[in-house]
Amino acid sequence: MSIFLIALGRRARESIEAGLREHGIAYHHLSALGHLKRQPGLSYSELARRARVTVQSMQTTASHLEQGGLVERGAATSPGRRADLHVTVRGLQVLAAAEAAIRSTDEELLAGVSPAERATVESALLRMFTARSPGSDNADDRSWSGFKDQRR
């Protein structure tokens, strides 16, 4: 089963990334935008922790989003202080387009699967995703909490 999940994951990621490229962002930008939409004003370190990347990497990601007009800073910041980043109207538009690309990918992956089978697959995958692994802090669960409801 793992091989099928890997192959489907690769197919899904390639399709989603193609849709994101049309809007000048990549998957890691989508993650940061999503976190900031749900919780504006996160610090670089909080964003990095949620995305499981280094603070320096997140600063680069946030800088790219800021240069593209997708996020903006609040008050001036200094090292060690909150980034106070907020998603702009343009950022919300790009995020909505990205969510549409994800829905389109879902439709492609689930073509030929009945609504009842879709519900079963989604339920099983959600249980698998949220199951606690030994030694895991399940940071991914926090990252994607509410995503299922947001997609509809």
In this structure, the number of other CB atoms found within 10 A of the CB of residue 63 comes to 11
C-alpha distance from residue 49 to each of 6, 22, 118, 142 (Å): 24, 27, 32, 11
Higher-pLDDT residue of 134 and 84 is: 84
Counted domains in the chain: 1
Give residue 129's pLDDT.
85
pLDDT at 131: 86
Q: Answer whether residue 77 is part of any domain.
A: yes
Cβ-based neighbours of 151, under 8 Å, separated by 6 or more: 99, 102, 103, 106
Give a yes or no: residue 139 inside a domain.
no
Domain span at 88: 2-113
Largest CA distance in the chain: 53
Residue at 147 is within a domain: no
- Any domain includes 131: no
Mean pLDDT of 31-47: 89
CA distance 24 to 71: 14
pLDDT-based confidence at residue 91 (cuts at 50, 70, 90): very high
User: Does 68 score more than 60 pLDDT?
Assistant: yes
* 81 in any annotated domain: yes
Report yes or no on 56 lying in a domain: yes
Q: Is 42 domain-assigned?
A: yes
The residue-averaged pLDDT of 83-93 equals 90
Please state whether the predicted TM-score (pTM) of the whole model is above 0.85.
no
Write the CATH number for 8. 1.10.10.10
Average pLDDT on 106-135 reads 87
DSSP 24: T
Residue appearing with tokens 């409801």: 149
CA angle centred on 130, ends 127 and 135, rounded to 5°: 130
Among the listed residues 53, 56, 66, the one whose alpha carbon sits nearest the alpha carbon of residue 25 = 66
pLDDT bin (cut points 50, 70, 90) of residue 36 is very high
Q: Which of 24-33, 120-129, 135-144 has the lowest mean pLDDT?
A: 135-144
125 domain residue, yes or no: no
